[in-house]
C-alpha cells in the first residue's frame, strides 16, 4: 500500500530515536540538563494538549513545577528538530474533582487542568486529539504514551518479583535484585479489511458507543503467522472463511501497547455466524452504504474513529487505493 505510512502514528514525522545515545554513560542525563530539552507530561495515560484548537502537545522545560509529581526520571523519546524530547508520568498528581466513572469509560472525554499551567493546557485523551496532531507530534505522543504505560505496569521483575528501575533512558527496566533486563512490550494485532465483491465486513464489540462499527481485529497468538491469525479471528468472530490475504499497512496503537497489522482478506463466503462472547454484531456493508456511513448519514451505523487504522483502511478501500 503506497501511502501506508501516512496513517496516524505512522512514523512519517522524522523522529530520530537516537538509540545509540541510550546506553552511553551520562549521555541522556546531559541531554536533559542541556537547556534545549522538552518534556511531555502524561497523567494516567493522557498527554498534555495545548492550545484552543487542541492540535499540539504541551511541552515543558525539565524544571517545570508540574513535573515535580513524577516518581521516575523522564523517558528519552529521541531527537526532534535537533532537540531532545522526553516524557514524564505525573500520575501521582491528584487533580480536584476527578470523575472516576468518566475516566474509566471507553472514551474519557474529561480534561484535567494543572494549577501550574495555563488554562489552554489540559490533560486529554490521546484518541480524541490524535487526528489533529502533526505527524511528528503524533509519533512522539504514541511513543510517550506506550513507553509510560509500560513503566507504570511493569515496576517489578517478572523473573524474581523484586522492584525494577528504569535504565537506558527508559527503554529498559533492570531488576534491583537479580539484575534481569526487561524491555518494552508490543503486542501484534491483526486488523482485517475483509471484502466480498462490493461489500465490506464490519463488526462492533461489547461496550462500544452506540452504532459504532469497525473492522474485525484480534491478537496474534504464539506460533501463529499473520495470515493464520487473520483467518482464525474472522472465523471465530463472524464465522466467515477468508482466502487470499495481503498486508497493507501498520499502526502503533498505544492503548496500551499494540502494533496493528492491517491486512486485506478476500472472503470465500458471506454467511455470518456471530460468536456473541467475542463481538456484539457483524454485518456486510456495501460500498455505497459505507459512503453514507463515512459521511455520518447512515441510519444505524457510525464510522470508525478518526485517526484509527480501521478508518484509514476503509477510506483507502472506498477510494480504490489498496492495490
CATH of the domain at 296: 3.90.79.10
Task: Assess if residue 85 is contained within a domain.
Answer: yes
Q: What is the pLDDT along the chain (323 residues), one digit of tens a residue?
A: 889 999 999 987 889 999 999 999 999 999 999 999 999 999 999 999 999 999 999 999 999 999 999 999 999 999 999 999 999 999 999 998 888 888 877 789 999 999 999 999 999 999 999 999 999 999 999 999 999 999 999 999 999 999 999 999 999 999 999 999 999 999 999 999 999 999 999 999 999 999 999 999 999 999 999 999 999 999 999 999 999 999 999 999 999 999 999 999 999 999 999 999 999 999 999 999 999 999 999 999 999 999 999 999 999 999 999 87
Instruction: Tell me if 313 sits within 8 A of 193, measured CB to CB.
Output: yes
Domain end among 129, 153, 177: 153
21 lies in a domain? Answer: yes
**Same structural domain, 136 and 244:** no
User: What H or E segment, with its residue span, contains residue 175?
Assistant: strand 172-175
For residues 33 and 80, membership in a common domain is answered with yes
Closest CA to 150 of 124, 123, 171: 171
11 and 145 in a single domain? The answer is: yes
The pTM score is 0.94
pLDDT of residue 13: 83
Q: Is residue 323 part of a domain?
A: no
pLDDT at position 97 is 85
Q: Which residues of 257-278 are buried (b: 16+ CB within 10 A; e: fewer)?
A: bbebbbbbbebeeeeeeeeeeb
Q: What is the pLDDT of residue 253?
A: 97
Q: In terms of domains, do 143 and 65 share one?
A: yes
258 has which bridge partners?
Answer: 187, 253
pLDDT of residue 154: 96
Please check whether residues 74 and 122 belong to one and the same domain: yes
123 shares its domain with 193: no
| CA separation, residue 298 to residues 201, 291, 311 (Å) | 16, 9, 16
Same domain, 209 and 112: no
152 CA to centre of own chain = 16
Residue 225: predicted pLDDT = 98
- Residue 162 in any domain: the answer is no
The verdict on 145 and 76 lying in the same domain is yes
Say if residue 136 is in the same domain as residue 254: no
pLDDT of residue 176: 96
Long-range contacts of 17-26 (CB under 8 A, 24+ apart): 17/77, 17/78, 17/143, 18/76, 18/78, 18/79, 18/84, 19/171, 21/76, 21/169, 22/76, 22/168, 22/169, 22/171, 23/168
Residues 140 and 21 in one domain: yes
**Residue 149 domain flag:** yes
Chosen domain end from 153, 179, 201:
153
- Are 218 and 139 in the same domain? no
- Looking at the 3D structure of the chain, how many domains does it have? 2
**Which cell numbers in the block locate residue 308?**
484509527
Residue 75: exposed, middle, or buried by beta-carbon count in 10 A (0-12, 13-18, 19+)?
Answer: buried
Q: Report strand pairing: 199-204 vs 187-196.
A: antiparallel
* Owning domain of residue 280: 187-318
Q: What is the pLDDT of residue 67?
A: 98
Helix (H) / strand (E) containing 79:
strand 75-80
Classify residue 193: in a domain, yes or no. yes
pLDDT of residue 235: 98
In this structure, is residue 182 part of a structural domain? no
Nearest 5°: phi and psi at 208? -75, 160
**Helices 309-318, 287-294: crossing angle, 10 deg rounding:** 130
Per the CB < 8 A criterion, the answer to whether 127 and 145 are in contact is no
121 and 207, same structural domain? no
Is 179 among the domain residues?
Answer: no
Amino acid at each position: 500500500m503506497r501511502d501506508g505510512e501516512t496513517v496516524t502514528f505512522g512514523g512519517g514525522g522524522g523522529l530520530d530515536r537516537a538509540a545509540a545515545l541510550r546506553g552511553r554513560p551520562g549521555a541522556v542525563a546531559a541531554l536533559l540538563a542541556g537547556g534545549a530539552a522538552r518534556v511531555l507530561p502524561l497523567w494516567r495515560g493522557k498527554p498534555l494538549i495545548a492550545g484552543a484548537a487542541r492540535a499540539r502537545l504541551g511541552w515543558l522545560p525539565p524544571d517545570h513545577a508540574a513535573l515535580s509529581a513524577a516518581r521516575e526520571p523522564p523517558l528519552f523519546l529521541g531527537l526532534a528538530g535537533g532537540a531532545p524530547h522526553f516524557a514524564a508520568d505525573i500520575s501521582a498528581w491528584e487533580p480536584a474533582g476527578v470523575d472516576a466513572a468518566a475516566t474509566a469509560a471507553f472514551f474519557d472525554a474529561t480534561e484535567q487542568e494543572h494549577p501550574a499551567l495555563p488554562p489552554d493546557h489540559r490533560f486529554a485523551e490521546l484518541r480524541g486529539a490524535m487526528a489533529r496532531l502533526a505527524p511528528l507530534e503524533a509519533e512522539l505522543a504514541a511513543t510517550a504514551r506506550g513507553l509510560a504505560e509500560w513503566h507504570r505496569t511493569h515496576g517489578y521483575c517478572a523473573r524474581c518479583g523484586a522492584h525494577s528501575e528504569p535504565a537506558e533512558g527508559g527503554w529498559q527496566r533492570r531488576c534491583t535484585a537479580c539484575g534481569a533486563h526487561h524491555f518494552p512490550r508490543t503486542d501484534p494485532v491483526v486488523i482485517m479489511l475483509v471484502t466480498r465483491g462490493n461489500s465490506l465486513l464490519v463488526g462492533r464489540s461489547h461496550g462500544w458507543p452506540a452504532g459504532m462499527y469497525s473492522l474485525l481485529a484480534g491478537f496474534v497468538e504464539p506460533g501463529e503467522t499473520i495470515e493464520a491469525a487473520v483467518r482464525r479471528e474472522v472465523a471465530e468472530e463472524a464465522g466467515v472463511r477468508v482466502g487470499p490475504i495481503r498486508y497493507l499497512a501498520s499502526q502503533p496503537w498505544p492503548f496500551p501497547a499494540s502494533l496493528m497489522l492491517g491486512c486485506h482478506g478476500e472472503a470465500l463466503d458471506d454467511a455470518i455466524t456471530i460468536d456473541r462472547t467475542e463481538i456484539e454484531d457483524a454485518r456486510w456493508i456495501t460500498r455505497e452504504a459505507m459512503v453514507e456511513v463515512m459521511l455520518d448519514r447512515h441510519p444505524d451505523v457510525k464510522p470508525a474513529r478518526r485517526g484509527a487504522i480501521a478508518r484509514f483502511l476503509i477510506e483507502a478501500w472506498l477510494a480504490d487505493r489498496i492495490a
